[in-house]
Amino acid sequence: MNATTKPAVSSKTKSANEGGITAVSVKPPRKVTYVFKATTSDNLSIPYVVAVDGKVLAAYAGRTARVSGKGGRLTVTVQQGQRVSLYLNSDAHPDFRKQPVYAVTPGERDVVVSITEKKGKHKDTDVPVLQANTAGAQGDAKKEDVYAAPLTGDIWMKVSHKYTADEVEPRLPNGTSSAVQKAVKSIYTGLSSSTLVINEPAKAERPARTLTVKFTDSNNPKDNISSYTLLADGLPRVHPGGYAALFTAALECKTPSITVSSCWRPMLGSIAHRAGLGLDVSVVGGTNMNRQELRRSLKVSSSSSKGNGDDKDNVTDAEVRAFSEYEQAIAQKKKADAELDAAAATLKSANKGGEAQRIMAAQERFAEAEKNAKLATDLRAKKRAVWDQQRDAGEPLQAKLFRASLLECSCVRQLFDPWFMEQNTKDSKQSEPNMQVTSNETLHAHHLHITVDDPKIL
């Protein structure tokens, strides 16, 4: 500023200006922690977002986070007096978020909310109830307020988005026919019966096609929700893309009918069905999607498995024998590998000791173990090839074609069935055969399951 310029305003500092001080109230920070205890699954991963004073935090604007149902914890720091709530499951999707649950407002202390799954029919609300206070280090101050809240079937249904007919088309895979679109929409406008008939008109390159879809309900929602029906509450909570994938695949492989055996359900299995992204099929045309005989036959007699004598039930007697021999080859391979590891350890120890006679004996043992391990590897591969051949030969064509079509659908993220397990349809790995060893394999030995791909939920 030059010497001739005058300031627009001037002021002087006043001494002892006590009256000019403004008191600002600063609320202390508080931690709110939610702990989840899902009693119906050991590996539940629950989608969630956090809202403070009714507004979703910026970190969750276009996505959800996940918390383990096996004691998983999530913590948010807010100011005293701010209200914290959660959006869970499919309701956590950025397009939905209509049902905030488990709201708490911290006061003088931090807050811990313990949420425990509760089976049976209950009408408990999701409002956390104050349980106890934890004493501080000196026993004279309380460290946190502890609340408890249930996670019932009713609450699962509350946080599971119920789709509308207007939400269908944007969620269908590209190329979905008008007949399938119409059929899928009818599910959300309200079916009058549990049977849906889809008529697809003829085109120049193919004749007209008809598919009958039968929906059956599982006991899980009926046993754990106080007011529930399949048509009004179960079917509309499933992502529309899942139905489109099933219907399109069935029509493409000229299957006259399918039975959809489980749709949305609240308290069984992984998060897929609870989030409306899982669908199960138990019958494809004339094929019951069941291969439990494969493992049951081995339990009867692992050394001389013969099957049940019926080669039209998806498991031939020849396959049972081949599978039994493959299992024995696997066991031999494990035994040979264990001996090779032990021989290698012995040789390493002998080399350290430096005693020539001991080293020579260890070398001979290792060479023998190495030879046997290779033989066991070759035998396992040979027996696996025989089982693959027998398994594929006994699989009905409609089941093969149905799976192949589903694997090509952009909506399908996972496909598990009695023959094969596909964890991720988007990667380049081959599907693994269902050997009915793991809990997931055993669960899908009697039906086909698809998980719909919606990354904004899972």
Q: Using one digit for the tens of pLDDT, what is the confidence trace for 401-430?
A: 999 999 999 999 999 999 999 999 999 999
d(CA 56, CA 36): 20
Paired strand residues for 200: 209
Mean pLDDT of 187-196: 97
More confident residue, 78 or 132: 78
The answer to whether residue 7 scores a pLDDT higher than 50 is: no
pLDDT at 21: 61
**Mean pLDDT across 197-205:** 93
Amino acid at 74: L
Q: Is residue 188 within a helix (H) or strand (E), and if so which, with residue range?
A: helix 178-189
Gap between the Cα atoms of 93 and 456, Å rounded: 6
Q: How confident is the model at residue 3 (pLDDT cuts 50, 70, 90)?
A: very low
What average pLDDT score do residues 300-307 get? 64
> d(Cα 116, Cα 132) in Å, to the nearest integer?
16
**pLDDT 10s digits, 269-292:** 889 999 999 999 999 999 999 999
Region of poorest pLDDT, from 61-70, 304-313, 343-352, 442-451: 304-313
pLDDT at 4: 47
Grouping H, G, I as helix, E, B as strand and the rest as coil, residue 400 is helix
- For the chain, give every domain's residue range: 29-158, 293-395
Question: Which residues touch 341 (CB under 8 Å, ≥6 apart)?
Answer: none
Tell me the pLDDT band of 1, cut-offs 50, 70 and 90. Answer: very low
The closest of 410, 409, 402, 403 to 455, measured between CA atoms, is 410
Distance of alpha carbon 248 from alpha carbon 245, whole angstroms: 5
Cα(458)–Cα(451) distance, rounded to whole angstroms?
Answer: 10
**Region 383-409: what's the mean pLDDT?**
97
The model's pLDDT over 116-140, given as tens digits with 9 standing for 90+, comes to 999 999 999 999 999 976 554 444 4
Residues of 291-316 as b/e, b for ≥16 C-beta within 10 angstroms?
bebbbbbbeeeeeebebeeeeebbbb
Token pair of 28, please? Answer: 């202390």
β-bridge mates for residue 259, sequence order: 214, 283
Q: Specify the CATH class of 29-158 in words.
A: mainly beta
Which whole number is the average pLDDT over 81-95? 98
Band (pLDDT 50/70/90 cuts) for residue 320 is very high
> What number of other Cβ atoms are within 10 A of residue 94's Cβ?
15
* CA gap 74, 83 in Å, rounded: 16
Residue with tokens 């909570």: 237
- Does pLDDT of 153 surpass 70? yes
Please give the average per-residue pLDDT across 257-266, as a whole number.
97
Q: Decide if pLDDT at 18 tops 90.
A: no
